Amino acid sequence: MPDARTHPLVVDAVPAFQDNYLWLVHRDSMAIVVDPGDAAPIEAALQRIGASLCAIVLTHHHPDHTGGVAALADARPGIAVYGPIGEHIPGVTVSLSGGDRVRIAPLDLDFEVIDVPGHTRGHIAYFTEADGIPRVFCGDTLFGCGCGRLFEGTAEQMQGSLARLAALPPNTLAYCAHEYTLSNIRFALAVEPDNAALQGRALDDGARRERGEATVPFRISLEKATNPFLRWDSATVREAADARIANASRSPATTFAALRAWKDRF
């Protein structure tokens, strides 16, 4: 039997609902799914690629990320369901927190768990360098040129979470759960209209969407150059925050909070 390491890991986006991406990660005939909000498109994708599901991986409790868990697990008694220890998600069999490691042996895949609270209280992300390619599955914490809303956490928590993601290797591919990039770019241009990298991204990602292509995954290096929610140290971003709320730039967390409040009303 061929060694699994000779076959590349593949990550497929499975569209669902209006703008969700459910991530199917597979090697040869084995697969895992990240944040299966709906079971039906995952079952169809598994049949299409001829793979068996060996684990379910969850970042947080929202229904568009967990809605398909019961159906997928009921059809596969005993399957491992990984999720955050800080949230109650029915069906989770292995609870995780930051610093934990997950081994998915059939895919020769190891994850490091990163705590990223803010969007929800116990949100986690999964980082891997399988096949020499750094990847992070970040749920609704980091989006293309944006970030998640603060439903349960604080601005301080979310800014810290984004800082942890920003500290990953610059070539890390980030797999978020929604196609929000173009609307986020419009906001980012309001914050930094003269950012040349951002202007270029607007053209590139706009062309991708016109061709029907996803803007996800994206590299952490691109986010640090264009995403205002990761640019709290930029003078132009701090000035823009101060223009909205007096003294917003006194700390990274207050700069972030001003930007998030602005985006919520944008």
| Residues catalogued as catalytic | 60, 62, 64-65, 119, 140, 178
Place of tokens 């610093």: 99
Phi and psi torsions of 72, nearest 5°: -65, -45
Q: How far apart are CA 173 and CA 3, in angstroms?
A: 25
41: number of Cβ within 10 Å? 18
What is the signed CA dihedral for 65, 42, 176, 99, rounded to 10 degrees? 70
Phi, psi of 169, deg, nearest 5: -50, 140
Planar angle of CA 137, 255, 124, nearest 5 degrees: 20
Euclidean distance between CA atoms 37 and 42, whole angstroms: 9
Which residues are bridge partners to 57 per DSSP?
34, 82
Tell me how crowded residue 167 is: count the other CB atoms within 10 A of its CB.
11
